[in-house]
Amino acid sequence: MMKLNLTAVTVVLGLAAAMFAAAAHEDEKFSAGEPGDPKQPARVVKVIMREDGKKMLFEPAHITVHKGEQIRFVLNNDGTESHEFVLATVTENRKHAQFMKKHQHMEHDDPNAKRLTPFTEGEIVWKFTRRGTFEYACLIPGHHEAGMHGTIDVK
Ligand SMILES: [Cu+2]
């Protein structure tokens, strides 16, 4: 009887933790702006993801855009590992990176993020509606630390 109760409590706690984790991930706000409209004109910005020895990087690592501008990010993974491009504030990306360390299976399918396997290309259309400094980063564990981040200044 005692054992049964403990099992039930464990299951309930586990379920609650999983629900909380899912909610935390889905409740993302897009501080960097909003998903773009692919039918509207957009300035194309090419971003390459690759490794260089022990380093991992984005090229370019700095982009300037104007408030209200829509950008079509054309992402190319020229590396030999999977990489991702996650657009958010620095704080949001740090929190998200911590979350991903605990949930390594997690893959992004959000409008502000794209994961690419080696030698593939992808796109994100994004409208920058707020001034400020935002970040694009690869949140795969170890990649940010290896240098995989860049900044976007919205003026
Ligand atoms: Cu990466």
Give domain limits for the chain: 34-154
How many whole angstroms from 141 Cα to the centroid of ligand 1? Answer: 8
How many whole angstroms from 7 Cα to the centroid of ligand 1? Answer: 39
Q: What CATH superfamily is the domain 34-154?
A: Cupredoxins -  blue copper proteins (2.60.40.420)
Least confident range from 25-39, 78-92, 119-133: namely 25-39
DSSP 96: H
More confident call, 118 vs 31: 118
Tens of pLDDT along 18-67? 555 544 455 456 888 999 999 999 999 999 999 999 999 999 999 999 99
In the predicted model, what is the mean pLDDT of the chain? 86
Tell if the pTM clears 0.75, that is, is over it. Answer: yes
How many whole angstroms from 110 Cα to the centroid of ligand 1? Answer: 17
Tens of pLDDT along 130-139? 999 999 999 9
How many whole angstroms from 55 Cα to the centroid of ligand 1? Answer: 10
pLDDT given for residue 96 in this prediction: 87
How many whole angstroms from 155 Cα to the centroid of ligand 1? Answer: 27
pLDDT given for residue 7 in this prediction: 58
More confident call, 9 vs 84: 84
pLDDT given for residue 27 in this prediction: 47
How many whole angstroms from 34 Cα to the centroid of ligand 1? Answer: 23
- Virtual torsion, Cα 95, 101, 104, 106, nearest 10 deg: 0
How many whole angstroms from 21 Cα to the centroid of ligand 1? Answer: 23
How many whole angstroms from 38 Cα to the centroid of ligand 1? Answer: 26
